[in-house]
Amino acid sequence: MANTASPAEEYFAEANSYYEKGEFEDASEMYKKAVNEGIENPILYYNYANSLFRTEQLGLSILYYEKALKLAPHDPDILANLKFARAHTVDKNEEPEQNILTKFLWYLHSGYSLNMALWIFLLGFSLIFALLILNLYMGSGVKIFSFSIIGLIALLLIIWSPSVIIRIKSQETARYAIVLSKSLDIYSGPGDNYQALAKVHEGTKFEIETITQDWAKVKLPTGKGGYVLASELGKI
């Protein structure tokens, strides 16, 4: 029987075997080849990030953990390794601690994948019409009951819809990047002739607001912002 594995799969398998043997440089090269084949897969990104971390390319490894997380937002392995890699950065740009209420609200907003949210939304919407159809042939007693269920579902969907819309919008518009160079200055304007405001280090995550030529206007989770050389960043 002919071997039907794609080149990307062959690179991936070879990289895994190098990694198992502790030959991380070679593993990293092979994962890179698989990535260059244009495959967007969270496991590929995760393994590549592991090999980058092992070869002390912290910025790139965080970038690929983030890329993997974007495709599989709740994968516990990706989350654990990203947290571990972040603990090795010079800058501790961790997001502020949340209280129980904000944690709960945050979970309601993003504690599940966007696709799952969209399926639940469609299911709720279809359920409303299924109950309306049922009502056409039901007696008044059942009607009152099913109308209250319809009202409840509709209310939940109305309350929940901004969360889903925000997630779709942020998926489309929000752009994040990771510092790939050892250190990077943040300037007050797009050029090194402006005042240097702060210095950040490899692995720090930025939100990109705009990119004009060589300079990117960025914002740190702490709220601090400015301009940095776009070539020193890796876009997630």
Partner 1 sequence: MEGGITSNQVEVGESFQLKITVSDEKQISNLPWPDVKGLEPFSVSKNTGTSSSSQTTIINGRVSQSKTYVTEFAYTLTAKEPGQYNIGPITYVYKDYSRNLGSVTVTVNKAVSGLELQPRLNKKSVYVGEQIKYSLRIIPKSSVQQIRPPNFQKEIGKTFFMVQLQEEVKPKTVEIDGNPVRVFDIEFALFPLLYDNVKFPSYSLEYDEVIAQRSRRNSVFDDFFGIGGKVVQKTAFTQPLSLSVKPLPPGQPEGFSGAVGSYSLNASVDKTQLKSGDALTLTVIIEGDGQPKAITNPILPELEQFEVFAPEVSSSTRIENGIYISKKTFKYVLVPSRKGNYTLSPLQFHFFDANSESYKTLSSPSFEINVAKGKEIQSGQSRLLNQKNIEELGSDIRHIKKLSTALENSAPNLYKMPWYWILYILGPFCYILLLIYKLREEKLESDSGLRRKVQAKGIAKKRLAEARKAMAGEDSRNFYKTLSASLERFASDKLNKELRGLTLEDALQELKSKGLSEENLNAYKEIMEECDMGQFASAQKDLNKWQNLLGKTENLINNIDKHV
Toward partner 1, which CB reaches closer, 94 or 214?
94
Backbone angles phi, psi at 21, to 5 degrees: -85, 0
The verdict on 125 binding partner 1 (CB under 8 A) reads yes
Residue identified by tokens 């709720």 is 124
**CB neighbours of 124 closer than 8 A, spacing ≥ 6?**
153, 156, 157
The residue ranges of DSSP E strands in the chain, in sequence order, are 175-179, 183-187, 196-201, 205-212, 215-219, 225-229, 233-235
The verdict on 12 binding partner 1 (CB under 8 A) reads yes
The verdict on 149 binding partner 1 (CB under 8 A) reads no
From 30, 34, 208, 218, residue interacting with partner 1 (rule: CB under 8 A): 34
Report which secondary-structure segment, H or E, holds 222.
none
Counted residue by residue, the chain has a size of 236
From 44, 60, 150, 230, residue interacting with partner 1 (rule: CB under 8 A): 44
Binders of partner 1 in range 186-215 (CB under 8 A): 195-196, 199
> Which two structure tokens, joined as six digits, stand for 212?
């004009």
From 106, 107, 129, 145, residue interacting with partner 1 (rule: CB under 8 A): 129
Please count the other Cβ atoms lying within 10 Å of the Cβ belonging to residue 159.
10
From 171, 210, 222, 231, residue interacting with partner 1 (rule: CB under 8 A): 171
Q: Using CB under 8 A as the criterion, which residues of the chain lie in contact with partner 1 when the complex forms?
A: 6, 8-9, 12, 16, 19-20, 34, 39-44, 46-47, 50-51, 53, 71-72, 77, 80-81, 83-85, 87, 90, 114-115, 118-119, 122, 125-126, 128-130, 132-133, 136-137, 168, 171, 182-183, 185, 195-196, 199
